[in-house]
Structure 1
Amino acid sequence: MDDFRVPAGYIAEPLISWGDPLLPDAPNHDDSALQPASAQLLQMGDNNDGMSFFPITADHALLVVNNEYSNLHTLHAHDGSDMTVDDVLKDQYAHGVSVVEIRQHMPGGFWQYQPQAPLNRRITARTAMQFSGPAAGHAHLQTSDDPEGLQCLGTFGNCANGKTPWGTYLTCEENTNDYFAASRDFTPDAAQQRYGLNADDEYGRQWYRHDARFDLSLHPREANRFGWIVEFDPLDPDSVPVKRTALGRFSHENAALALTNDGRAVVYMGDDARGEHIYKFVSNRAYDPANPAANRNLLDEGTLYVARFDAEPGELHGRGQWLALTHGQNGLDQSSGFADQAEVLIFARLAATQVGGTTMDRPEWIAVHPQNGSVLCTLTNNRNRGVHDNQPAGGPNPRAENHYGQIVRWWPDSQDHASESFQWDLFVLAGNPTVHAGTPYAGSRNITADNMFNSPDGLAFDDHGRLWIQTDGNYSNTGDFAGMGNNQILCADPQTGEIRRFATGPIGCELTGATFSPDQRTLFVGVQHPGEDGLPSHFPNGGDSRPRSTIMMIRRVDGGVVGS
């Protein structure tokens, strides 16, 4: 099926799609894909992912949306194999973040986006930004274009997101290594290898051919300037985005915010790569709700930790510790290759290994329960689990060749997110009981033929504590994945463990970026890359149109709370 399906009693409509006009003088989307880069700069970005809702009044808001990457075969009239200068520029403008003004013109009705509204904004791979925090100005961030290491051009690979209590948006740079390649001989060192950098242009972006900063053989330090969390104020269209280096550099999936019992800010983060880690940051200073300006640099000073999950053999629960990634502690010093705290943060993956963090099955979204403070993280899959000696199966990652994924859950000791210890269990092991009955690959007891899924990715709680799970998995509907169909949204009860399928997306898409209006009566969901790998999708316009990533709005027909 090539549509977006919701349960009886619900209705779904598109809000905005890639290429829709956003800024003044923006042209309408051209299905021929012949529009130049200058048009894309003014239009909605591609492949919407994480997003947050910022209310202005009861019927007026901003929806801030990540544009993770582009689909070259739909962005261009050609197949993307031989990119021109303008093609690369167009691609760079399709990335980043879109800030979209929306209004609800009738109480209880759907929202509508507002073209040319004054707060609409595009942040792209070429937007001016700043570094802040312990790594700002460090030699590893200095380039010939920025010899002081304090300014940066652009953000891309923006996967998921976070929203701070002080009203700013956090956009998370994920697979930024995919955009770098080399025009001449380039041999990556150990740190560059750990961050996936090599001479090959594996995904055919070709940015290095027309934008020299992405050529590793010419500017190897440029790659260190990406893989961060970027903060900006969406209500101020002139605000300069800031890369918060205290939060560490890796493939950031999202940023889940919480407060400690004494009011300090906590950011939980997953590193979305096979065999990587789960992190948290705890600020030094407390959040001051009476003085928003005092919170603007709250994420520059604090402690970054990596998680270690402990368990008895065969157990799917246990204890855990947060290990500080602080220079001079836990073996992080000159003798282990870290000259200062900036190097610990710039090469956080290596530091996490040094202190003994647990390698995980691709940590993706993290969500904090709004009432009881438990924290959940999707571990989407890991074909390397049990293959490499440093990734033995066990604990929260119990299965080798894990192609279904699981969700790990933990409770901080003393119900305080500042605690450096926790207890954990597995909320669900995804699987297929119709194919693998009686084996670990059937999934946990709360998985049935009616709700089975693979590769949990997006994760969000609503205000009532219901857990919304979004998938980005194998949609072949054959073999190990028979009966699973297209990617989907599921709703779970964290207390009972019950999971129900809620909605399914069109052909070849993932569903991502769930966020709610404050009254919980509209659920916004992203349909990303429909028609992936050339599959025959024409979503959302049908006919012979090009598939377009789209934000969908879901409401109950009777106007009630979604999920109730």
Structure 2
Amino acid sequence: MSPKPLALFVTHDGQSARAALTCEYKCGNACFHEPPNTSDGAYFGDIVSSLNRRGLIKGGAAAVLAVGAASVLAACGDDSSGGGDTPTAAGTPATGTDFPAVAPNKDDALVIPEGYEQQVVLRWGDPLFADAPAFDFDKQTAAAQLKQFGYNNDFAALLPIEGQPNSFLLVVNHEYTTGPMMFRGYDKDKPSDEQIAITKAAHGLTVVEVKGEAGSGKLTPVFGKYNRRITADTEFVLTGPAAGSEFTRTGADSSGAKVLGTFANCAGGVTPWGTILSGEENFNGYFANGDKADDPKGRLKRYGLTEGTTANRWERTDKRFDLAQEANEANRFGYVVEVNPWDPASTPIKHSAMGRLKHEGASIYVTAAGDVVSYTGDDEKFDYMYKFVSKRKVQPGTGAAAMRHNLTILDAGTLYVAKLTGDHADQIDGSGKVPSDQGFTGKGQWIPLLETGEDGQAKSLVEGLSAAEVAVFTRQAADKVGATKMDRPEDFEANPFTGKVYVALTNNDNRAKDGKPGVDEANPRKLNKNGQVLELTDNHTGTDFTWSLLLVCGDPAAADTYFAGFDKSKVSPISCPDNLAFDPHGNLWISTDGNALKTNDGLFSVTLDGPRRGETKQFLTVPKGAETCGPIVTEQRVIVAVQHPGEDDEATPDNPQSHWPDGGTSQPRPAIAVVWKQNGGRIGI
């Protein structure tokens, strides 16, 4: 593919390759604030220097559920190196990865391999119900948006409908909205009440029935009985140690257990009992006037809740978003959300026993003994990795009694945070140089923070904090026990064949800056702009694990990159890993967010076993200005959520920088796309 001119990005003082507009609305300019973790607890580098002086995801296997994971937060840094065309390795590719690699590019298109086809399944504003109006960019209303597909799709899951061949539920998160891209003449300082209502309605989740087509991967939305929109005003129930506590009661809710809305929904997971998990991530950006609220213990600040107005200005029409008036409202967000997509009348749940943080998502692993384990990352520079081990097992069946039980599985168990040590402390100098035995490796410990019993009674395992404090202020609890400060831990996914757990560490350009934590073996580069992928061999219900770095991302021609020992001249450039998924053959797939190599984000396959371990191949790229989210990879199709296409600092509705997906002179619209092999072939075969 011949190179084309690069889409315009603003470098923001050399720190970010993402548009300032995206940073403002998506993550509250997290890259340009001091990281909230200023704790003096031991970080990985302190620990290593002091030392030197078969399971299956039941219901989540490819034959049962197709599961994706998605993205967020602040973008990667700029990089002086770029990627060229991708060479092809000699020999036989791993099953599921035999496709011609897509070259890095800057096209305003979804670029896929030769021999494959594509379709847009759903766009922002597409009707979900028979009485929903067709989308009209210039005549939007909140009433219409409540019945239309939401904005900035992220996590996606595809669930087969029992008894209906080739029919599915497609469940999608809608992470955030960008007013200046949604409305002509938008006044950022004083959006209209109707515009505020529209953006609130465009958040949350969508459940929609889709119908497949024999011989292809096409998916057609239908006005089915399961279709549902969940928004920033939908009622939720808060469960676990935080529910009813002094920290979650508000003027509008004296019970402290009835919460309106979900937003900043990033990645997620599918449970063995058929529900959807969604992570509330950058919720802090929705609350104004943190400087005017009482915060003697620095709890608001630790979560990035700071002074002034918000980008969305929801506080203008709803006082619960003004911390000066409702200081506890923010404590009701930042949880793992569970939605039963099979019951449109059900009340979604927020699980506080799993902790409150900037959850990228939550992925479930079930051991051979039937124990349920959930993994989650706190997506912020220098924050932590967590797991939750339930005390309850899955009750089989699809009846009401089984579902009632299964919806409580994540309310009883133990919450842990990770602490890592490395094997080569004296060889880590910040350059990314591979240690002498040709690998980055180490050990780890899961430190217990909170135990919630079968009876609902919870016990803090952190000295000086109550159970409710650990559940609501989990970051500070993890600070106290000296958890390892990581480079933005985002998505976790467990390999359904091996049980190994993979973590996307997106980037951290503050690593080893003056006054900031230094390098360590799991985070081995200074000013880390390209990120890495961590591989854990975990004692899932226990407290010990070993780890290694699978990938140290970036331009393979650069000295500071590593591809599990695979020949770097035969891999695709990859930058800023975000969301992870597995295909039916056990290959890892990675979507990227904020590519620091000056080309479009994309989706990549990675071989995990055998002589080609570490082989990384680009399967597709998303349009300019967009982020790759929600990958689902099955034998028949690959699904991606294309988020914020054309979001650029020069972009306005009168001057769009992208026309994807409809082309011509149309406005860019976030959308779900599906890719399949021509003539009904199998993906990567």
Picking from 427, 435, 445, the partner of 2:550 is 427
1:521 aligns with 2:636: yes
Displacement of 1:474? 3.3
Aligned ranges for residues 86-485 of structure 1 at < 5 Å?
86-114=194-222, 116-182=223-289, 185-186=292-293, 188-189=295-296, 190-201=298-309, 204-290=311-397, 291-312=402-423, 313=425, 314=428, 316-326=440-450, 332-334=462-464, 338=465, 340-387=466-513, 389=515, 391-413=517-539, 417-434=540-557, 437-438=558-559, 440=560, 445-446=565-566, 447-448=568-569, 451-474=572-595, 481=597, 485=599
Corresponding residue SS for 2:201: helix
Partner of 2:120: 14
Q: Is the 8 A contact 2:217 2:675 kept in 1?
A: no
Give 1:493's aligned residue: 607
Alpha-carbon shift at residue 453 of structure 1 (Å):
1.8
- The whole-number CA distance in structure 1 between the counterparts of 2:520 and 2:197 is 45
Q: Residue 331 of structure 1 contacts residue 355 of structure 1 at CA under 8 Å; is this kept in 2?
A: no
* SS of match in other structure, 1:39: helix
For residues 284 and 608 of structure 2, the distance between their equivalents in structure 1, rounded to whole angstroms, comes to 36
Asked if 2 retains the 8 angstrom alpha-carbon contact of 1:188 and 1:198, the reply is: no
Specify the alignment match of 2:619 in structure 1: 502
1:179-226 Cα deviation digits (max 9, x unpaired): 111298446541111100012235x21011111100011001000000
- What TM-score does the superposition give when structure 1 sets the normalisation length? 0.92
Following superposition, the deviation at residue 79 of structure 1 comes to: 2.9
Tell me the equivalent position of 2:24: none
Aligned residue number for residue 49 of structure 1: 154
Structure 1 residues 40, 292: CA separation in 2 closer, same or farther (over 3 Å shift)?
closer
One-letter code aligned to 2:364? L
Give the Å deviation of 1:563.
Answer: 2.4
| Aligned amino acid, residue 127 of structure 1 | T
Is the CA contact (8 Å cut-off) linking 1:24 and 1:42 kept in structure 2? no
Note closer, same or farther for the CA distance 1:539–1:449 as it changes in structure 2 (3 Å cut): farther
8 Å CA contact 2:574, 2:595 repeated in 1: no
Change over 3 Å in CA distance of 1:216–1:562 after alignment to 2:
same
Q: Do the aligned partners of 1:410 and 1:422 also contact (CA within 8 Å) in 2?
A: yes
Q: Is the 8 A contact 2:137 2:183 kept in 1?
A: no
Going from structure 1 to structure 2, the CA distance change for 1:109 and 1:432 (only over 3 Å counts) comes to: closer
Residue 478 of structure 1 aligns with which residue? none
Match for residue 561 of structure 1? 682
3-state SS, counterpart of residue 558 of structure 1: helix
Q: What amino acid does structure 2 have at the position aligned with 1:419?
A: G
CA contact (8 A) 2:421 2:442 kept: yes
Question: Which letter does structure 2 place at the counterpart of 1:299?
Answer: L
Change over 3 Å in CA distance of 1:410–1:513 after alignment to 2: same
CA-to-aligned-CA distance 1:264-302 (integer Å, 9 cap, x gap): 211000011111001000001222224444212111000
Name the CA shift for 1:442/1:523 in 2 (closer, same or farther; >3 Å): closer
Return 5+ residue gaps in structure 1 as ranges.
476-480
CA distance in 2, matches of 1:288, 1:240: 20
The number of residues matched between the two structures is 542
Instruction: State which drifts further: 147-156 or 385-394.
Output: 385-394
Q: Partner letter of residue 549 of structure 2?
A: L
1:16 Cα shift?
0.4
Give, as a single letter, the amino acid of the residue that structure 2 aligns with 1:374: K
Q: Which amino acid aligns with 1:79?
A: Y
- Code of the aligned partner of 2:605: C
Distance 2:589 2:628 in 1: 11
Cα distance in structure 1, aligned partners of 2:204 and 2:240: 22
Residue 377 and residue 388 in structure 1: after superposition, are their counterparts in 2 closer, same or farther (change >3 A)?
farther
Deviations 1:123-174 (A, max 9, x none): 0000011011122111100000001101000000000111000011111100
| Whole-angstrom distance in 2 between the partners of 1:183 and 1:351 | 21
Asked if structure 1 preserves the Cα contact closer than 8 Å seen for 2:492 and 2:501, the reply is yes
CA distance in 2, matches of 1:507, 1:80: 25
Kindly indicate whether structure 1 or structure 2 has the higher relative contact order, using CA contacts under 8 Å at least 6 residues apart. Answer: 2
After the TM superposition, which of the residue ranges 452-461 and 193-202 deviates more from structure 2? 193-202
**In 2 relative to 1, CA 427–329 (structure 1 residues): closer, same or farther, beyond 3 Å?**
farther
Q: Distance in 1 between matches of 2:241 and 2:460?
A: 19
- What is the Cα deviation at residue 387 of structure 1? 2.4
Does the 8 A contact of 1:324 with 1:330 survive in 2? no
Once residues 209 and 20 of structure 1 are traced to their aligned partners in structure 2, the CA distance between those partners, rounded to angstroms, is 28
Question: Any idea what the Cα deviations from partners look like across 1:54-103, whole Å, max 9, x if unmatched?
Answer: 11032111000000011212222223412121111111001000101101
SS in 2 for 1:49: strand
- 3-state SS of 2:299 partner: helix
Indicate conservation of the 8 Å contact 2:565/2:614, yes or no. no
In the alignment, is the contact (CA less than 8 A) between 1:9 and 1:558 conserved in 2? Answer: no
In structure 2, the partner of 1:36 is 141
Query: Which sections of structure 2, spanning at least 5 residues, go unmatched?
Result: 1-106, 429-434, 452-457, 652-656
Q: Which piece of structure 1 moves more, 465-474 or 386-395?
A: 386-395
Judge which range, 233-242 or 441-450, deviates more: 441-450
CA–CA separation in structure 2 for the residues paired with 1:286 and 1:450:
42
Q: Contact 1:31–1:545 at 8 Å: present in 2 too?
A: no
Q: In 2, Cα distance between the equivalents of 1:448 and 1:26?
A: 52
> What's the CA shift for 1:326?
2.6
Stretch deviating more after TM superposition (162-171 or 324-333): 324-333
Question: Take 1:330 and 1:398, find their aligned partners in 2: how far apart are those partners?
Answer: 33
Does the CA contact (< 8 Å) of 1:367 and 1:376 recur in 2?
yes
Q: How many percent of aligned residue pairs carry the same amino acid? A: 40
Task: Determine helix, strand or coil for the equivalent of 1:38.
Answer: helix
TM-score, length of structure 2 as denominator length: 0.76
Quote the residue 2:665 is aligned against: 544
**Any idea what the Cα deviations from partners look like across 1:322-380, whole Å, max 9, x if unmatched?**
1000379997133xxx1x21210111111111111111100111111010000001000
1:387 and 1:180, CA in 2 relative to 1: closer, same or farther beyond 3 A?
same
Q: Secondary structure at the match of 1:365?
A: strand
Conserved in 2, the CA contact under 8 Å of 1:261 and 1:418?
Answer: no
Check the 8 A contact 1:133/1:245 in 2, yes or no. Answer: yes
What RMSD over aligned residues (CA atoms) do the two structures have, in Å? Answer: 2.0
Q: Which amino acid aligns with 1:507?
A: K
Letter in 1 for 2:470: V
The letter for the 2-side match of 1:493 is T
Q: Which consecutive aligned stretches of 4+ in structure 1 deviate over 6 angstroms post-superposition?
A: 327-331
Stretch deviating more after TM superposition (447-456 or 529-538): 447-456
